[in-house]
Amino acid sequence: MSLSNLVDDWSKYRKGREEGGYHDYEHMWGMSIDLNKCIGCNACSVACYAENNLAVVGKEKFEKGQGMHWLRIERYWDEPDLGEERTAEFQQHGASFLPMMCQQCNAATCEPVCPVAATYHTPDGLNAQVYNRCIGSRYCSNNCPYRLRYFNFWSFYEDSWPAPLNMQLNPDITVRDKGVMEKCTFCVQRIRTVKDKARMEDRKVRDGEVQTACSQTCPTGAIEFGDMLGMYDPETGVAETRVTKMWRKHQVELGKTKQNKQTPDMRGYRVFEFLNTDPCVMYLDRVREV
């Protein structure tokens, strides 16, 4: 880092796109989640547990808030406090569901605060967490506005999976011991496998070739996963994927703190865009009769 960089405006280094930031992306994995299609069945969450060797902490610890569900289905009601005054109207409407996984922010707030750089941005546009490097200061989780980072408060890898069940662990991904932070990786092991295969065959990764466990499992196809590098940098000549098509259709752009929607049927939004975290996951608002 030169002196001229030091006296420059540092805020621009938070942006991946601009000069000085990260710009050698090979991919930029992203998602589009249609909340109209989400039925809140939790199949994605279960698939995530199976794919990523998530520890099942049990009811007691889960209630204490020590669970580690990388993908959680959040339930929201129209009326914030239901309790005693639950009316028939609200029951009729039921809950709104919001599947939340790591948003893989391009200007992730968790990355600059890690003292040992255990979380960093990969050339795949992913916000990676290096378990081996993590010392468990837990600052990243505190600084994540989405609260999508989970900490191993207990040691589970020895006794969480009793005898035959340990055979179902995914060998492509490690099991984490106590004291490290973990979070959704967009099934990075699947991405690696497909990328390696594509390289062996000397071709580019095709759209739809990588599927995360959640998007694969979703019975209604609410979760779309794919490469968004075309959105990020049109000059790289990456073909349009299903995800980029969705983003363009709903006129959601990267690198913005507020989206300009031209018509009401543009349902796309990103969570907490105003915080300038620039997430890679777009949600499509749920529409329903009132």
Instruction: Examine residue 152 and tell whether it contacts another protein (CB under 8 A).
Output: yes
Establish if 174 lies at the interface with another protein (CB under 8 A).
no
> Residue 137 Cβ, how far from another protein at the closest point, in Å?
6
Footprint on residues 42-81 left by another protein (CB under 8 A):
61, 64-67, 72, 74, 76
Which residue type does 133 have?
R
How far are the Cα atoms of 96, 171, 247 from residue 76, in angstroms, in the given order?
5, 36, 24
b vs e for 250-283, b when ≥16 Cβ sit within 10 Å of the residue's Cβ? bebebeeeeeeeeeeebbbbbeeeeebbbbbbbb
CB neighbour list of residue 159: distance below 8 Å, 6 or more residues apart = none
| CB closer to another protein out of 36 and 62 | 62
Nearer to another protein, 123 or 234 (CB): 123
- Rule CB under 8 A: say whether 12 interacts with another protein: no
Q: How far is the CB of 135 from another protein (least distance, A)?
A: 5
Q: Which two tokens stand for residue 26?
A: 């090979």
Applying CB under 8 A, does 17 fall inside the site for another protein?
Answer: no
Q: Which of 48, 102, 181, 246 binds another protein (CB under 8 A)?
A: 181
Contact 12, 20 (CB under 8 A): yes
Q: Which residue, 127, 183, 196, 154, is CA-closest to 62?
A: 154
- Among residue numbers 116 through 145, which ones bind another protein (CB under 8 A)? 116-117, 133-139, 141-143, 145
The site string for another protein over 265-284 (x = CB under 8 A, - otherwise) reads -------x--x---------
State which of residues 17, 37, 93, 178 lies at the interface with another protein (CB under 8 A).
178
- Distance between CA atoms of 152 and 111, rounded to whole angstroms? 19
Please check whether residue 199 is in contact with residue 117, taking contact to mean a CB–CB distance below 8 angstroms: no
| Interaction of residue 113 with another protein, rule CB under 8 A | yes
* Residue 282, phi-psi category: left (phi > 0), alpha (psi -120 to 50), beta (remainder): beta
Please give the residue ranges that form the binding site for another protein (CB under 8 A).
61, 64-67, 72, 74, 76, 100, 109, 112-117, 133-139, 141-143, 145-147, 150-155, 178-181, 272, 275
